[in-house]
Structure 1
Protein backbone atom coordinates (compact mmCIF):
# COMPACT_ATOMS: atom_id res chain seq x y z
CA UNK A 1 0.00 0.00 0.00
CA UNK A 2 1.31 3.40 -1.03
CA UNK A 3 1.00 6.46 1.21
CA UNK A 4 1.29 9.42 -1.14
CA UNK A 5 3.17 12.63 -0.47
CA UNK A 6 2.18 16.26 -0.42
CA UNK A 7 0.34 16.45 1.83
CA UNK A 8 -2.51 16.20 -0.64
CA UNK A 9 -0.70 14.86 -3.72
CA UNK A 10 -2.98 11.91 -4.46
CA UNK A 11 -1.20 9.59 -6.89
CA UNK A 12 -3.75 7.07 -8.15
CA UNK A 13 -3.89 8.53 -11.64
CA UNK A 14 -0.28 9.57 -12.18
CA UNK A 15 1.30 6.38 -10.80
CA UNK A 16 -0.39 3.81 -13.05
CA UNK A 17 2.37 3.56 -15.64
CA UNK A 18 5.34 3.43 -13.20
CA UNK A 19 3.59 0.85 -11.01
CA UNK A 20 2.43 -1.42 -13.81
CA UNK A 21 5.20 -4.00 -13.31
CA UNK A 22 4.50 -4.14 -9.58
CA UNK A 23 0.94 -5.23 -10.33
CA UNK A 24 2.32 -8.49 -11.77
CA UNK A 25 3.73 -9.36 -8.34
CA UNK A 26 1.63 -7.50 -5.76
CA UNK A 27 -1.89 -6.34 -5.10
CA UNK A 28 -1.05 -2.63 -5.39
CA UNK A 29 -3.17 -0.19 -3.41
CA UNK A 30 -3.05 3.58 -3.89
CA UNK A 31 -5.12 5.48 -1.37
CA UNK A 32 -6.36 9.04 -1.84
CA UNK A 33 -5.96 10.27 1.73
CA UNK A 34 -8.59 12.35 3.49
CA UNK A 35 -8.89 15.71 1.72
CA UNK A 36 -6.85 14.61 -1.33
CA UNK A 37 -7.79 13.62 -4.88
CA UNK A 38 -11.10 11.76 -4.98
CA UNK A 39 -11.32 12.00 -1.19
CA UNK A 40 -11.50 15.79 -1.36
CA UNK A 41 -14.85 17.55 -1.15
CA UNK A 42 -16.32 20.58 0.58
CA UNK A 43 -17.59 18.44 3.46
CA UNK A 44 -14.14 17.41 4.73
CA UNK A 45 -13.75 19.04 8.14
CA UNK A 46 -10.61 21.04 8.80
CA UNK A 47 -10.62 19.77 12.37
CA UNK A 48 -10.13 16.22 11.05
CA UNK A 49 -6.99 17.14 9.14
CA UNK A 50 -4.51 15.87 11.71
CA UNK A 51 -1.79 13.24 11.65
CA UNK A 52 -3.64 11.19 14.27
CA UNK A 53 -6.77 11.11 12.11
CA UNK A 54 -4.76 10.03 9.06
CA UNK A 55 -3.09 7.26 11.06
CA UNK A 56 -6.50 6.02 12.18
CA UNK A 57 -7.74 6.12 8.57
CA UNK A 58 -4.69 4.22 7.31
CA UNK A 59 -4.86 1.56 10.02
CA UNK A 60 -8.53 0.99 9.28
CA UNK A 61 -7.77 0.61 5.56
CA UNK A 62 -4.89 -1.81 6.17
CA UNK A 63 -7.08 -3.99 8.39
CA UNK A 64 -9.77 -3.97 5.68
CA UNK A 65 -7.26 -4.96 2.96
CA UNK A 66 -5.83 -7.80 5.04
CA UNK A 67 -9.32 -9.17 5.62
CA UNK A 68 -10.54 -8.69 2.06
CA UNK A 69 -7.54 -10.32 0.39
CA UNK A 70 -6.93 -12.94 3.11
CA UNK A 71 -3.39 -11.78 3.86
CA UNK A 72 -1.48 -11.70 7.14
CA UNK A 73 0.38 -8.43 6.58
CA UNK A 74 1.19 -5.84 3.92
CA UNK A 75 4.25 -4.08 2.52
CA UNK A 76 3.86 -0.39 3.34
CA UNK A 77 5.40 2.36 1.18
CA UNK A 78 5.46 6.00 2.25
CA UNK A 79 6.64 8.88 0.08
CA UNK A 80 7.63 12.27 1.55
CA UNK A 81 4.63 13.40 3.66
CA UNK A 82 3.41 9.80 3.44
CA UNK A 83 6.70 8.66 4.96
CA UNK A 84 5.70 10.34 8.23
CA UNK A 85 2.56 8.22 8.29
CA UNK A 86 4.56 5.16 7.26
CA UNK A 87 7.00 5.44 10.16
CA UNK A 88 4.22 6.14 12.66
CA UNK A 89 2.14 3.19 11.43
CA UNK A 90 5.15 0.88 11.52
CA UNK A 91 5.81 1.93 15.11
CA UNK A 92 2.20 1.55 16.23
CA UNK A 93 1.16 -1.61 14.34
CA UNK A 94 4.15 -3.76 13.37
CA UNK A 95 1.79 -6.76 13.47
CA UNK A 96 0.20 -5.49 10.23
CA UNK A 97 3.38 -4.80 8.26
CA UNK A 98 5.90 -7.14 6.55
CA UNK A 99 8.31 -4.27 5.86
CA UNK A 100 8.31 -0.50 5.52
CA UNK A 101 9.76 1.28 2.47
CA UNK A 102 10.36 5.02 2.81
CA UNK A 103 10.87 7.13 -0.31
CA UNK A 104 12.25 10.63 0.26
CA UNK A 105 11.94 9.89 3.96
CA UNK A 106 11.14 12.82 6.24
CA UNK A 107 13.23 12.81 9.42
CA UNK A 108 13.37 16.30 10.94
CA UNK A 109 11.16 18.74 9.04
CA UNK A 110 12.59 21.98 10.42
CA UNK A 111 16.20 20.95 9.88
CA UNK A 112 15.36 19.50 6.47
CA UNK A 113 13.70 22.72 5.31
CA UNK A 114 16.73 24.72 6.45
CA UNK A 115 19.12 22.45 4.54
CA UNK A 116 16.86 22.66 1.48
CA UNK A 117 16.75 26.46 1.60
CA UNK A 118 20.52 26.80 2.03
CA UNK A 119 21.16 24.40 -0.86
CA UNK A 120 18.83 26.37 -3.12
CA UNK A 121 20.42 29.71 -2.23
CA UNK A 122 23.92 28.30 -2.73
CA UNK A 123 22.96 26.99 -6.17
CA UNK A 124 21.47 30.38 -7.05
CA UNK A 125 24.69 32.14 -6.03
CA UNK A 126 26.82 29.56 -7.85
CA UNK A 127 24.86 30.07 -11.07
CA UNK A 128 24.73 33.87 -10.59
CA UNK A 129 20.95 33.84 -10.91
CA UNK A 130 20.16 37.25 -9.47
CA UNK A 131 16.39 36.82 -9.64
CA UNK A 132 16.58 33.59 -7.63
CA UNK A 133 18.98 35.14 -5.12
CA UNK A 134 16.70 38.14 -4.66
CA UNK A 135 13.53 36.09 -4.20
CA UNK A 136 15.15 33.58 -1.85
CA UNK A 137 16.70 36.25 0.34
CA UNK A 138 13.37 38.04 0.47
CA UNK A 139 11.50 35.02 1.89
CA UNK A 140 14.38 34.17 4.23
CA UNK A 141 15.04 30.99 6.15
CA UNK A 142 12.18 28.67 7.12
CA UNK A 143 9.74 28.36 8.77
CA UNK A 144 8.11 30.37 6.00
CA UNK A 145 5.43 32.96 6.64
CA UNK A 146 2.99 31.42 4.17
CA UNK A 147 2.57 28.78 1.46
CA UNK A 148 3.47 31.30 -1.22
CA UNK A 149 6.94 31.74 0.31
CA UNK A 150 7.38 27.97 0.49
CA UNK A 151 6.31 27.79 -3.15
CA UNK A 152 9.02 30.28 -4.15
CA UNK A 153 11.70 28.14 -2.52
CA UNK A 154 10.33 24.98 -4.15
CA UNK A 155 10.20 26.71 -7.54
CA UNK A 156 13.90 27.52 -7.44
CA UNK A 157 14.79 24.17 -5.88
CA UNK A 158 13.16 22.49 -8.88
CA UNK A 159 15.01 24.80 -11.27
CA UNK A 160 18.32 23.82 -9.67
CA UNK A 161 17.50 20.08 -9.91
CA UNK A 162 16.99 19.47 -6.20
CA UNK A 163 13.54 17.99 -6.78
CA UNK A 164 14.04 15.85 -9.89
CA UNK A 165 17.43 15.21 -11.45
CA UNK A 166 15.89 15.30 -14.91
CA UNK A 167 12.61 16.88 -15.87
CA UNK A 168 10.08 18.79 -13.81
CA UNK A 169 7.93 17.37 -11.03
CA UNK A 170 4.75 19.16 -12.11
CA UNK A 171 5.13 18.18 -15.77
CA UNK A 172 5.82 14.58 -14.72
CA UNK A 173 2.68 14.43 -12.59
CA UNK A 174 0.38 15.94 -15.17
CA UNK A 175 1.90 14.01 -18.08
CA UNK A 176 1.24 10.73 -16.26
CA UNK A 177 -2.26 11.91 -15.38
CA UNK A 178 -3.07 12.57 -19.04
CA UNK A 179 -2.02 9.00 -19.85
CA UNK A 180 -4.82 7.87 -17.53
CA UNK A 181 -7.46 9.93 -19.37
CA UNK A 182 -8.50 11.92 -16.32
CA UNK A 183 -11.13 14.62 -16.67
CA UNK A 184 -10.58 18.35 -16.31
CA UNK A 185 -12.96 18.32 -13.35
CA UNK A 186 -10.76 15.76 -11.58
CA UNK A 187 -7.62 17.83 -12.22
CA UNK A 188 -9.37 20.82 -10.62
CA UNK A 189 -10.39 18.63 -7.67
CA UNK A 190 -6.81 17.31 -7.44
CA UNK A 191 -5.33 20.83 -7.24
CA UNK A 192 -7.94 21.97 -4.70
CA UNK A 193 -7.12 18.95 -2.56
CA UNK A 194 -3.42 19.81 -2.53
CA UNK A 195 -4.10 23.40 -1.46
CA UNK A 196 -6.60 22.31 1.21
CA UNK A 197 -4.23 19.66 2.59
CA UNK A 198 -1.23 21.97 2.71
CA UNK A 199 -3.21 24.71 4.43
CA UNK A 200 -4.41 22.34 7.14
CA UNK A 201 -1.48 19.97 7.67
CA UNK A 202 1.68 21.97 6.99
CA UNK A 203 2.04 23.42 10.50
CA UNK A 204 1.75 20.00 12.18
CA UNK A 205 4.06 18.46 9.60
CA UNK A 206 6.70 21.11 10.36
CA UNK A 207 6.99 19.86 13.96
CA UNK A 208 7.80 16.26 13.02
CA UNK A 209 11.13 14.81 14.16
CA UNK A 210 11.18 11.01 13.90
CA UNK A 211 14.80 10.96 15.08
CA UNK A 212 13.44 11.86 18.52
CA UNK A 213 9.98 10.33 18.25
CA UNK A 214 10.71 6.96 16.61
CA UNK A 215 14.25 5.70 17.31
CA UNK A 216 13.03 2.08 17.18
CA UNK A 217 10.84 0.13 14.75
CA UNK A 218 9.93 -3.55 14.99
CA UNK A 219 9.69 -4.12 11.23
CA UNK A 220 12.37 -4.26 8.49
CA UNK A 221 13.00 -0.74 7.18
CA UNK A 222 14.27 0.27 3.74
CA UNK A 223 14.88 3.83 2.60
CA UNK A 224 14.88 4.57 -1.15
CA UNK A 225 16.84 7.81 -1.46
CA UNK A 226 17.75 9.94 -4.46
CA UNK A 227 21.31 11.27 -4.40
CA UNK A 228 20.03 14.67 -5.53
CA UNK A 229 17.05 14.95 -3.18
CA UNK A 230 17.05 18.34 -1.52
CA UNK A 231 13.28 18.53 -1.16
CA UNK A 232 13.70 16.19 1.80
CA UNK A 233 17.49 16.12 2.21
CA UNK A 234 19.01 12.65 2.18
CA UNK A 235 21.69 13.59 4.75
CA UNK A 236 19.12 13.38 7.54
CA UNK A 237 18.19 9.82 6.56
CA UNK A 238 21.86 8.89 6.96
CA UNK A 239 21.79 10.40 10.44
CA UNK A 240 18.57 8.57 11.32
CA UNK A 241 20.09 5.26 10.20
CA UNK A 242 22.87 5.67 12.77
CA UNK A 243 20.45 5.66 15.70
CA UNK A 244 17.53 3.59 14.32
CA UNK A 245 16.96 0.19 15.91
CA UNK A 246 15.16 -2.23 13.56
CA UNK A 247 15.30 -5.96 12.65
CA UNK A 248 16.76 -4.93 9.29
CA UNK A 249 17.62 -1.50 7.96
CA UNK A 250 19.15 -0.36 4.69
CA UNK A 251 19.42 2.65 2.40
CA UNK A 252 18.97 1.93 -1.30
CA UNK A 253 20.62 4.74 -3.24
CA UNK A 254 19.24 6.01 -6.54
CA UNK A 255 22.20 7.72 -8.15
CA UNK A 256 20.23 9.49 -10.90
CA UNK A 257 17.24 10.67 -8.87
CA UNK A 258 16.01 13.51 -6.72
CA UNK A 259 12.87 13.33 -4.60
CA UNK A 260 10.98 10.84 -6.80
CA UNK A 261 13.20 7.78 -7.40
CA UNK A 262 10.12 5.61 -7.97
CA UNK A 263 9.33 7.83 -10.98
CA UNK A 264 12.88 8.73 -12.04
CA UNK A 265 14.39 5.23 -11.86
CA UNK A 266 11.26 3.15 -12.21
CA UNK A 267 12.83 -0.22 -13.00
CA UNK A 268 15.35 -0.06 -10.17
CA UNK A 269 12.62 0.81 -7.67
CA UNK A 270 10.27 -1.89 -8.93
CA UNK A 271 13.06 -4.49 -8.97
CA UNK A 272 13.91 -3.67 -5.37
CA UNK A 273 10.30 -4.05 -4.22
CA UNK A 274 9.96 -7.37 -6.05
CA UNK A 275 13.22 -8.60 -4.46
CA UNK A 276 11.57 -8.41 -1.03
CA UNK A 277 9.13 -11.19 -1.89
Structure 2
Protein backbone atom coordinates (compact mmCIF):
# COMPACT_ATOMS: atom_id res chain seq x y z
CA UNK A 1 0.00 0.00 0.00
CA UNK A 2 1.38 3.39 -0.98
CA UNK A 3 1.96 5.77 1.90
CA UNK A 4 1.03 9.38 1.14
CA UNK A 5 3.51 11.57 3.02
CA UNK A 6 3.26 15.24 3.98
CA UNK A 7 6.88 16.16 3.23
CA UNK A 8 10.12 14.54 2.11
CA UNK A 9 11.48 15.15 5.60
CA UNK A 10 9.05 12.48 6.86
CA UNK A 11 11.20 9.77 5.23
CA UNK A 12 14.47 11.45 4.23
CA UNK A 13 16.32 10.12 7.29
CA UNK A 14 16.10 6.63 5.79
CA UNK A 15 18.24 7.62 2.78
CA UNK A 16 21.73 8.85 1.99
CA UNK A 17 21.05 9.88 -1.61
CA UNK A 18 18.13 11.18 -3.64
CA UNK A 19 17.99 10.72 -7.43
CA UNK A 20 15.66 13.61 -8.24
CA UNK A 21 13.86 14.38 -11.48
CA UNK A 22 13.84 18.02 -12.56
CA UNK A 23 10.88 18.89 -14.79
CA UNK A 24 7.65 18.46 -12.82
CA UNK A 25 9.48 18.04 -9.52
CA UNK A 26 11.98 20.89 -9.12
CA UNK A 27 10.53 23.23 -11.78
CA UNK A 28 7.72 23.52 -14.33
CA UNK A 29 9.87 24.41 -17.31
CA UNK A 30 9.61 28.11 -16.48
CA UNK A 31 10.30 28.61 -12.77
CA UNK A 32 11.51 26.61 -9.78
CA UNK A 33 9.18 25.24 -7.14
CA UNK A 34 10.39 26.97 -3.94
CA UNK A 35 9.20 24.20 -1.62
CA UNK A 36 11.03 21.57 -3.66
CA UNK A 37 14.22 23.64 -3.56
CA UNK A 38 13.88 24.01 0.22
CA UNK A 39 13.33 20.26 0.61
CA UNK A 40 16.56 19.44 -1.20
CA UNK A 41 18.49 22.12 0.67
CA UNK A 42 17.21 20.65 3.93
CA UNK A 43 18.17 17.12 2.91
CA UNK A 44 21.68 18.25 2.00
CA UNK A 45 22.03 20.21 5.23
CA UNK A 46 21.60 16.92 7.11
CA UNK A 47 24.26 15.18 5.02
CA UNK A 48 22.19 13.83 2.15
CA UNK A 49 23.40 13.90 -1.45
CA UNK A 50 21.16 15.08 -4.30
CA UNK A 51 21.81 13.86 -7.82
CA UNK A 52 19.53 15.48 -10.36
CA UNK A 53 18.68 12.74 -12.87
CA UNK A 54 17.01 14.28 -15.88
CA UNK A 55 15.93 13.26 -19.36
CA UNK A 56 17.08 16.61 -20.67
CA UNK A 57 18.97 16.15 -23.96
CA UNK A 58 21.45 18.84 -22.88
CA UNK A 59 24.92 18.42 -21.30
CA UNK A 60 24.90 18.67 -17.52
CA UNK A 61 26.60 22.08 -17.37
CA UNK A 62 24.01 23.52 -19.75
CA UNK A 63 21.25 22.15 -17.50
CA UNK A 64 22.97 23.67 -14.45
CA UNK A 65 22.87 27.12 -16.07
CA UNK A 66 19.29 26.63 -17.19
CA UNK A 67 17.94 25.64 -13.77
CA UNK A 68 19.94 28.39 -12.05
CA UNK A 69 18.13 30.90 -14.23
CA UNK A 70 14.83 29.28 -13.23
CA UNK A 71 15.63 29.63 -9.54
CA UNK A 72 17.17 26.28 -8.58
CA UNK A 73 20.38 27.30 -6.75
CA UNK A 74 23.57 25.26 -6.58
CA UNK A 75 23.10 24.50 -2.89
CA UNK A 76 20.03 22.39 -3.76
CA UNK A 77 22.03 19.67 -5.57
CA UNK A 78 25.40 17.92 -5.68
CA UNK A 79 25.59 16.47 -9.19
CA UNK A 80 23.60 16.23 -12.41
CA UNK A 81 23.20 13.25 -14.74
CA UNK A 82 21.46 13.96 -18.03
CA UNK A 83 20.07 11.74 -20.74
CA UNK A 84 21.89 14.07 -23.11
CA UNK A 85 25.31 13.25 -21.68
CA UNK A 86 24.60 9.52 -21.82
CA UNK A 87 23.33 9.75 -25.41
CA UNK A 88 26.19 12.03 -26.48
CA UNK A 89 28.73 9.46 -25.30
CA UNK A 90 27.02 6.84 -27.45
CA UNK A 91 26.88 9.18 -30.44
CA UNK A 92 30.58 10.02 -30.28
CA UNK A 93 31.32 6.29 -30.09
CA UNK A 94 29.50 5.87 -33.40
CA UNK A 95 26.20 4.34 -32.27
CA UNK A 96 24.34 5.80 -35.28
CA UNK A 97 27.23 6.50 -37.64
CA UNK A 98 29.18 9.64 -38.44
CA UNK A 99 26.70 11.38 -40.73
CA UNK A 100 23.50 12.12 -38.82
CA UNK A 101 20.16 13.74 -39.51
CA UNK A 102 19.45 15.95 -36.53
CA UNK A 103 15.96 16.45 -35.08
CA UNK A 104 15.64 19.20 -32.50
CA UNK A 105 15.37 22.92 -31.95
CA UNK A 106 18.33 25.07 -32.95
CA UNK A 107 20.10 26.81 -31.36
CA UNK A 108 18.64 25.45 -28.11
CA UNK A 109 19.81 21.87 -28.70
CA UNK A 110 23.14 22.67 -30.38
CA UNK A 111 25.10 21.92 -27.19
CA UNK A 112 24.39 18.24 -27.81
CA UNK A 113 27.19 18.24 -30.39
CA UNK A 114 29.82 19.83 -28.14
CA UNK A 115 32.96 17.63 -27.91
CA UNK A 116 33.12 15.11 -25.06
CA UNK A 117 36.59 14.98 -23.52
CA UNK A 118 35.95 11.62 -21.87
CA UNK A 119 35.66 9.85 -25.24
CA UNK A 120 38.96 8.79 -26.75
CA UNK A 121 39.16 8.97 -30.55
CA UNK A 122 35.57 10.24 -30.95
CA UNK A 123 33.73 9.82 -34.23
CA UNK A 124 33.72 13.00 -36.31
CA UNK A 125 29.99 13.72 -36.30
CA UNK A 126 28.54 15.62 -39.25
CA UNK A 127 24.97 16.91 -39.48
CA UNK A 128 23.60 16.16 -42.95
CA UNK A 129 20.23 16.04 -44.76
CA UNK A 130 18.18 12.88 -44.25
CA UNK A 131 18.99 11.45 -47.68
CA UNK A 132 22.71 11.51 -46.83
CA UNK A 133 22.40 10.26 -43.23
CA UNK A 134 23.72 7.06 -41.65
CA UNK A 135 21.56 7.56 -38.59
CA UNK A 136 19.23 9.94 -36.73
CA UNK A 137 19.99 11.98 -33.62
CA UNK A 138 16.75 13.10 -31.98
CA UNK A 139 16.76 15.68 -29.18
CA UNK A 140 13.10 16.51 -29.76
CA UNK A 141 10.58 17.65 -32.37
CA UNK A 142 11.27 20.56 -34.68
CA UNK A 143 8.00 21.97 -33.29
CA UNK A 144 7.10 20.63 -29.81
CA UNK A 145 3.46 21.67 -30.26
CA UNK A 146 2.93 19.90 -33.59
CA UNK A 147 1.50 16.37 -33.76
CA UNK A 148 4.33 13.83 -34.05
CA UNK A 149 2.63 12.29 -37.08
CA UNK A 150 4.01 15.15 -39.21
CA UNK A 151 7.28 13.15 -39.21
CA UNK A 152 5.73 9.93 -40.54
CA UNK A 153 6.86 10.27 -44.17
CA UNK A 154 10.45 11.06 -43.16
CA UNK A 155 10.47 8.15 -40.73
CA UNK A 156 9.18 5.80 -43.41
CA UNK A 157 12.11 6.78 -45.63
CA UNK A 158 14.56 6.40 -42.71
CA UNK A 159 13.18 2.99 -41.79
CA UNK A 160 13.51 1.79 -45.38
CA UNK A 161 17.16 2.89 -45.30
CA UNK A 162 17.64 0.97 -42.04
CA UNK A 163 18.66 4.04 -40.02
CA UNK A 164 18.85 3.82 -36.23
CA UNK A 165 17.37 6.67 -34.18
CA UNK A 166 19.31 7.82 -31.12
CA UNK A 167 16.78 9.23 -28.65
CA UNK A 168 18.34 11.82 -26.35
CA UNK A 169 15.20 12.24 -24.21
CA UNK A 170 12.80 9.31 -23.64
CA UNK A 171 10.10 11.57 -22.16
CA UNK A 172 6.89 11.51 -24.20
CA UNK A 173 5.51 14.85 -23.01
CA UNK A 174 6.31 17.65 -20.55
CA UNK A 175 4.25 20.54 -19.24
CA UNK A 176 5.93 23.89 -19.77
CA UNK A 177 3.86 25.91 -17.34
CA UNK A 178 0.30 25.18 -18.49
CA UNK A 179 1.28 24.05 -22.01
CA UNK A 180 1.91 20.37 -22.82
CA UNK A 181 4.73 19.73 -25.30
CA UNK A 182 5.93 16.67 -27.17
CA UNK A 183 9.42 15.32 -26.45
CA UNK A 184 11.92 13.13 -28.29
CA UNK A 185 10.46 10.01 -26.69
CA UNK A 186 7.23 10.49 -28.63
CA UNK A 187 9.17 10.55 -31.90
CA UNK A 188 11.21 7.48 -30.95
CA UNK A 189 8.00 5.69 -29.99
CA UNK A 190 6.46 6.49 -33.39
CA UNK A 191 9.61 5.35 -35.20
CA UNK A 192 9.63 2.06 -33.30
CA UNK A 193 5.92 1.51 -33.98
CA UNK A 194 6.68 1.99 -37.69
CA UNK A 195 9.32 -0.74 -37.53
CA UNK A 196 12.42 1.42 -37.06
CA UNK A 197 15.06 0.89 -34.36
CA UNK A 198 15.31 3.44 -31.54
CA UNK A 199 18.16 3.61 -29.02
CA UNK A 200 17.38 5.02 -25.56
CA UNK A 201 19.75 6.41 -22.93
CA UNK A 202 17.54 8.25 -20.43
CA UNK A 203 15.03 7.09 -17.83
CA UNK A 204 13.75 4.40 -17.47
CA UNK A 205 16.72 2.77 -19.24
CA UNK A 206 19.92 1.64 -17.43
CA UNK A 207 22.54 3.95 -19.04
CA UNK A 208 21.42 7.09 -17.23
CA UNK A 209 21.38 5.33 -13.86
CA UNK A 210 24.92 4.07 -14.52
CA UNK A 211 25.90 7.68 -15.23
CA UNK A 212 24.11 8.90 -12.09
CA UNK A 213 26.02 6.40 -9.96
CA UNK A 214 29.32 7.47 -11.54
CA UNK A 215 28.52 11.09 -10.79
CA UNK A 216 27.61 10.09 -7.23
CA UNK A 217 30.83 8.11 -6.73
CA UNK A 218 32.85 11.18 -7.72
CA UNK A 219 31.46 13.08 -4.70
CA UNK A 220 33.03 13.06 -1.26
CA UNK A 221 31.58 11.56 1.92
CA UNK A 222 29.36 9.05 0.12
CA UNK A 223 28.78 5.72 1.94
CA UNK A 224 30.11 2.61 0.20
CA UNK A 225 26.59 1.19 -0.11
CA UNK A 226 24.35 4.27 -0.10
CA UNK A 227 20.62 4.09 0.49
CA UNK A 228 19.09 5.74 -2.57
CA UNK A 229 15.55 6.93 -3.24
CA UNK A 230 14.29 7.94 -6.69
CA UNK A 231 11.93 10.92 -6.86
CA UNK A 232 9.89 11.78 -9.93
CA UNK A 233 6.52 12.44 -11.55
CA UNK A 234 6.77 10.32 -14.72
CA UNK A 235 5.18 6.92 -14.21
CA UNK A 236 6.84 5.42 -17.29
CA UNK A 237 10.23 7.06 -16.77
CA UNK A 238 11.09 8.19 -13.22
CA UNK A 239 8.94 5.66 -11.38
CA UNK A 240 9.45 2.66 -13.67
CA UNK A 241 13.16 3.37 -13.95
CA UNK A 242 13.64 3.67 -10.21
CA UNK A 243 11.80 0.42 -9.57
CA UNK A 244 13.81 -1.39 -12.26
CA UNK A 245 16.95 -0.23 -10.44
CA UNK A 246 15.57 -1.72 -7.19
CA UNK A 247 15.28 1.71 -5.60
CA UNK A 248 12.56 3.00 -3.33
CA UNK A 249 10.44 5.58 -5.15
CA UNK A 250 8.66 8.74 -4.10
CA UNK A 251 6.01 9.42 -6.73
CA UNK A 252 5.22 13.12 -7.27
CA UNK A 253 1.56 12.98 -8.28
CA UNK A 254 1.04 16.69 -9.00
CA UNK A 255 3.13 16.64 -12.18
CA UNK A 256 2.18 14.70 -15.31
CA UNK A 257 -0.39 12.59 -13.45
CA UNK A 258 -2.12 15.43 -11.58
CA UNK A 259 -5.45 14.93 -13.33
CA UNK A 260 -5.48 11.14 -13.11
CA UNK A 261 -4.56 11.15 -9.41
CA UNK A 262 -6.94 14.04 -8.64
CA UNK A 263 -4.11 15.90 -6.95
CA UNK A 264 -5.24 19.00 -5.14
CA UNK A 265 -2.40 19.61 -2.75
CA UNK A 266 -2.29 15.86 -2.19
CA UNK A 267 -3.50 12.97 -4.36
CA UNK A 268 -6.90 11.42 -3.80
CA UNK A 269 -6.08 8.00 -2.28
CA UNK A 270 -8.62 6.09 -4.37
CA UNK A 271 -7.58 7.83 -7.58
CA UNK A 272 -3.92 7.20 -6.81
CA UNK A 273 -4.56 3.53 -6.14
CA UNK A 274 -6.54 3.19 -9.36
CA UNK A 275 -3.83 4.95 -11.38
CA UNK A 276 -1.07 2.72 -10.03
CA UNK A 277 -3.20 -0.40 -10.54
CA UNK A 278 -3.83 0.49 -14.19
CA UNK A 279 -0.10 0.85 -14.69
CA UNK A 280 0.58 -2.35 -12.73
CA UNK A 281 3.00 -0.49 -10.49
CA UNK A 282 3.42 -0.33 -6.73
CA UNK A 283 5.41 2.43 -5.01
CA UNK A 284 6.17 2.86 -1.32
CA UNK A 285 5.58 6.63 -1.18
CA UNK A 286 3.62 9.39 -2.89
CA UNK A 287 3.17 13.12 -2.36
CA UNK A 288 1.32 15.79 -4.30
CA UNK A 289 4.33 18.08 -4.73
CA UNK A 290 7.94 17.77 -3.65
CA UNK A 291 8.34 19.69 -0.43
TM-score normalized by the length of structure 2: 0.30
Indicate the structure with greater helix content: 1
More RCO (CA 8 Å, sep 6+): 1
Larger gyration radius, structure 1 or structure 2: 2
TM-score normalized by the length of structure 1: 0.31
